[in-house]
Every structure is written in structure tokens, then in C-alpha cells.
Amino acid sequence: MAIIDTPQWKYLNRILSRKGPFADDDYDNEMQKTFLEHTKVFGAGGLGCEILKNLALSGFKDIHVIDMDTIDVSNLNRQFLFRASDVGKPKATVAASFVMSRVKGITITPYYGAIQDKDQDYYMQFKIIICGLDSVEARRWINATLVDMVDINRPESLKPLIDGGTEGFKGQSRVILPTLSSCYECSLDMLTPQTAVPICTLATIPRQPAHCVEWASILEWPRIFKDKKLDNDDPGHVQWIYEQALKRAQEFNISGVTYSLTQGVIKNIIPAIASTNAIIAASCCNEALKIATGANPFLNNYMMYTGDESVYTHTFEHEKKDGCPVCGDLASDYMVNPEWTLQEFIDRLKEKPEVQIKKPTMVTERRKLYYQGPPQLNEQTRPNLVKKMKDLVDNGEEIAITDPGLPFSLRLNVIFS
């Protein structure tokens, strides 16, 4: 008897025993049984708890979960699988045993560590990968790994990736079919950059709204108020910073400085909101159920949700990006001022949301531009940092960039402006 024939699963059975109005013509009730196979969940954080619980209650029987965090007391308000006595224990292990004790007949295999600890053979065993990760780096890694695993002669090597993410009252869920649809890397420019801004940029020419806020809080506040410490929780202080940032932004013709941006930048935190997590996790698991059973067509391919100004969702097809460094195969063009020094070029790259690098090593076909290490190579290439781009590369020349944060090597065609 299949697990879902028992009374515990009567609602699920009801969904699966009737064909959805948009399901494929050859939808067959028996297919419902195949969906109880391997599935993988990533992250047992805010999204992880929700995803794990939803998958278990949707009838997935064999779930693997990876998380590298331990339980902190501040998690307890929303990560409902954890209790005060669990503080300090690995999230993956505690979440797995809690859900197994409540939902009978399923197996959850926890792993306490990083997703990067596992290799392609490990990921090959699963049918669906669901990510509720909060780190851009980890999501880029799993995305690049799954794209790389696709072997056109082996259809089963293509693992649908369901990616869910939240940021305060906003969130998104998406279905990525590696190599076929737009991938995580294709949409990296939709993220807000998180890299630190050099003080000189703040002091001289701000380029982004966040620069203006940082200018006001890092440089202007201490100049005006001397020894008074900026209190991020004092609305009067935040208001003052906001007003200064707004003035500066207007001076440099930059739009986008708002009170809530100011708050976000100076607090440098993204609040986790339980309801957003629940909604996004539900959407992800709904997609997993549809992919696994074929009961209805799955999301094509991006759903965004906003809950701060009423409740709004929008679904659209995010398109593959030409020259995506992961799922495309061409180097992308990059405009470079020939008068920039290599250091300036690197600083600007670091600010690019679609690049997101921290410690790049750069080479061209004919020369080593800059090496982070080993020490001899770093020493040998460091003088290049003050040289001008026009003296280091030719117009149209390709630069290959590797970085600890990049799961692949990025190729850029230098186009002199």
C-alpha cells in the first residue's frame, strides 16, 4: 500500500487522484507514487523549517537536509521546530528528528555542514533540489554545480532547482531547469549589492543611494556631533541621517534614498519575517509537488511576493541572460575607461550586483594581471594595481577572473569607452 492511501493522507490523495485542469493529457494517478522518491532540501533556517515541514506533509518520503548552522536563541521566535533546550545543537539534525517524530513513515537524513562539502555524485541521487538558503554565495554554488551536472545524453542528470528567498516583507520563489531556463546567475543583477564601499568613494563621488546614506552616517554624523554615538534604534537619529543622505543624493542626481533604505543601510540587517517565510516556503513546496507528480503545470518560472504595501504577487518568465557566465558560453562585454587603474577597475567590478566578487585574481591570455596569492605571485603582480588599464590590456581582450566567492571563472571582454 502506498503511503498516501492511509487516512493521514486523504487530502493529498484527493488532489492527486483527480487530474488538474491544466495537467498533461497523459497524467496518470499512478504517477503520484513516483513522487515519493528522493528529494532534497537545503537550509534549515527560517525557510528550512517551513520547507521541511511542508515537504513531509506533502507526502515526500525521503528527504535529505543540509544546514551548517547551530540553533541560536534568537531563532526560536519563528523557527518552530526548535526548542530552548535545542540551543547550540545543529539545526539540520534537530529539525530532521522533530519532523520524523511528528510525521510517521518518512525518512529525513540530516547533514550538518556546508552544501559545498558534497560532490556531484551526491547531488545526482536526487530528483528535485529545493534551496531555502540565505547566502548568495551558496546559491551561486549550487546553481553552477547543477548546471555543470547536466549531460544532454542523460535526461535524469537535469535536476530541477526550486529556489526560495526572502528579505523582510519581500520574497521570491522560482523554478530553474538548469541549462534550459534562466538560472540563478542570470538574475544576479536583480540583487542589491552588499559589498563595502571605499571611504574615498563616499567622500568624493557617490554613485548609489546607499553611498549617500553611508556618507551621512560614517562621515557626516561624527563631523557634526563629535562624540555623540549614532543610535540606529533612535528614530530621531535615523531621520537626521535620512535627511542628510537625501540632500547629498539630490546634489549628485541620485534617486532612491528613502527612510526605509536609510534604516536598512545603517542597521545593515535584513529582518526575517515569519509570514513571508511561510508564504515563500509554501510556494516552493507546491512547485515541488507539481514537478514530482505532474498533477498540474509548475511555475514558469519566477514568482515575486511583496507584503509590505498590501499583498502583491507577480509571476513572470525570467529570461536567460545572453552571456551568463554559468549557463551561457560567451564572455560578456564590459565597458572600461582606459584611464582607470587596475585597482579602480577592480573596485568598480566589486560594486556590480551582477558580478559580486570580493578577492579577484585576474589573468589574460598573455599576462598575469593580479594574483591574490600565493605570496610570490601577489608580490609580482601587485605593481599592476596602479597601472592604467590601457597599458595592461587591449581593447577587446578577454580577462578571466576567479574569486573565492565565484563557483566558476568569469570571462569579460574589455571594451574601452
Of 326 and 399, CB closest to Zn ion: 326
CA distance 261 to 102: 41
CA angle, corner 275, sides to 270 and 278, nearest 5?
Answer: 105
Cell of residue 353, nine digits? 550586483
Minimum CB distance to Zn ion, residue 100 (Å): 36
Contact call for residues 158 and 179 (beta carbons, < 8 A): yes
Of 179 and 313, CB closest to Zn ion: 179
Minimum CB distance to Zn ion, residue 325 (Å): 8
Cell of residue 384, nine digits? 599592476
Of 292 and 324, CB closest to Zn ion: 324
Minimum CB distance to Zn ion, residue 318 (Å): 10
CA distance 304 to 311: 11
Of 183 and 357, CB closest to Zn ion: 183
Q: In the sheet that 312-316 helps form, which strands lie side by side, from edge to edge?
A: 107-112, 62-67, 38-42, 129-131, 161-167, 170-176, 302-306, 312-316
Q: Which residues contact 300 (CB under 8 A, 6 or more apart)?
A: 175, 181, 317
Minimum CB distance to Zn ion, residue 234 (Å): 43
Q: Which residues contact 354 (CB under 8 A, 6 or more apart)?
A: 188, 189
Q: What residue type is assigned to position 267 of the chain?
A: K
Of 145 and 293, CB closest to Zn ion: 145
Of 332 and 372, CB closest to Zn ion: 332
* Active-site residue set: 200
Of 140 and 248, CB closest to Zn ion: 140
CB atoms within 10 A of CB 197: 19
Minimum CB distance to Zn ion, residue 391 (Å): 33
CA distance 416 to 255: 28
Of 235, 198, 192, the closest CA to residue 214 belongs to 198
What angle, rounded to 10 degrees, do the helices at 46-57 and 91-102 form? 30
Sites of contact with Zn ion (CB under 5 A): 183, 185-186, 324, 326-327
Number of H-type helices and E-type strands within the chain: 15, 13
Q: Which residue is nearest to Zn ion (CB)?
A: 324
Strand (E) positions, 252-337? 302-306, 312-316, 332-336
Q: Where are the alpha helices (DSSP H) in 28-157?
A: 31-34, 46-57, 91-102, 120-124, 136-149
Minimum CB distance to Zn ion, residue 141 (Å): 14
Contact call for residues 323 and 186 (beta carbons, < 8 A): no
Minimum CB distance to Zn ion, residue 184 (Å): 7
Of 131 and 389, CB closest to Zn ion: 131
Minimum CB distance to Zn ion, residue 320 (Å): 6
Coil, strand or helix at 249: helix
